[in-house]
Amino acid sequence: MREAAFVKCNSTKWQRLEQLAAQGSEGTITADEASALYIELNDDLSYARTFYPGAQVTSYLNTLAASLHRRIYRNQRTGLGRFITFWKTELPLLLAGTRRQLVLSATIFLTAVLIGGLSAHYDTTFTRLILGDGYVDMTLENIKEGKPMAVYGSSGMMDMFFGITLNNIMVSFYAFALGVLLSYGTWLILVQNGIMLGAFQYFMYQQGVLRESLLAIWLHGTVEISCIVIAGSAGLVMGNSILFPGTYTRLASFRRGALQGMKIVVGLVPCFILAGFIESFITRRSADMHPAVNLTIIFGSLAFIIGYFILYPYHVQRTHGNHRIAQAA
């Protein structure tokens, strides 16, 4: 990009930053906007240093970055305030800026679920190939005994809670971290988990216990599966930042995408803890619960996921109308 085009493309943003750095302008820009703009300014400075070394715009951005650094870190939020800001504003804004990646992640996963179900339908050995003979044989035995979901009561509640929660967090981390392989690693994790889910649910249908499995598995699966898909979107954010750096250098774009993706994954940790709690302490009792209770938990979980991760970001985006949302490449 020519220097003149670079300046023209970013001049409005830099004027906002000058306004922030100026004395007596504390009330004109929110702290959240200042933080996001400061990150973008450093990316612009890195780009200028690479392509316009010694140019006037590089010197200007360096001076502006120094002034803004002093301004932000003199008034930075710490402790509980910073924690609240992350969940109330920062994470929702990131989610609002990565909608395309979320749609793509969900599309990949749902397509894989369909592939898993169709493969199990047309190939009687597919379910055993995907889930393993041991798990299939154990489930068949449980079905014969009239307890198709007995696997959830096969171990202690606390041991199950810690084991499942850690495993789910690791799966989400892998879905994110493997995005560094130009997004294809994330695709692999999403496809693998989607095929397993599709094959398993069709297996339950074949055995005539689909209703029981849906009422049990989706008690925790609503949150768990949704978060895996969201973690996949975080991986795509990082991977696409390498593939499509836009006006940034590839390294600057990667750092930006990795930071955005990591914040999304960190935001999922409480949800995985919730899913682990439900699976360990509630799912094992699903057969003894009235279906209305199961459905209340399932749809309540779905409402939470849709509300916080999809609808609330729209609200925050509208509220911060002047806030430049960091769009992933």
pLDDT at 287 over 70: yes
Locate 28 and state its tokens. 């004109």
Per DSSP, 158 falls in state H
Which tens digits make up the pLDDT trace of 231-280? 999 999 999 999 998 777 888 889 989 999 999 999 999 999 999 999 99
Work out the percent of the chain whose per-residue pLDDT is above 90.
59
Asked if residues 197 and 225 have their Cβ atoms less than 8 Å apart, the reply is yes
CA pair distance 190, 113, nearest whole angstrom = 10
Q: Please, where are the H alpha helices in the chain?
A: 3-21, 31-51, 56-74, 79-85, 91-96, 99-122, 126-131, 133-144, 157-177, 184-206, 210-243, 250-281, 291-306, 312-319
Q: Decide: residue 60, CB within 10 A, 0-12 exposed, 13-18 middle, 19+ buried.
A: middle
- What is the residue extent of each domain of the chain? 3-76, 91-319
Give residue 43's pLDDT: 81
Give residue 13's pLDDT: 80
Which tens digits make up the pLDDT trace of 98-139? 999 999 999 999 999 999 999 999 998 999 999 999 999 999
Mean per-residue pLDDT of the chain: 87
pLDDT at 8 over 70: yes
pTM: 0.77
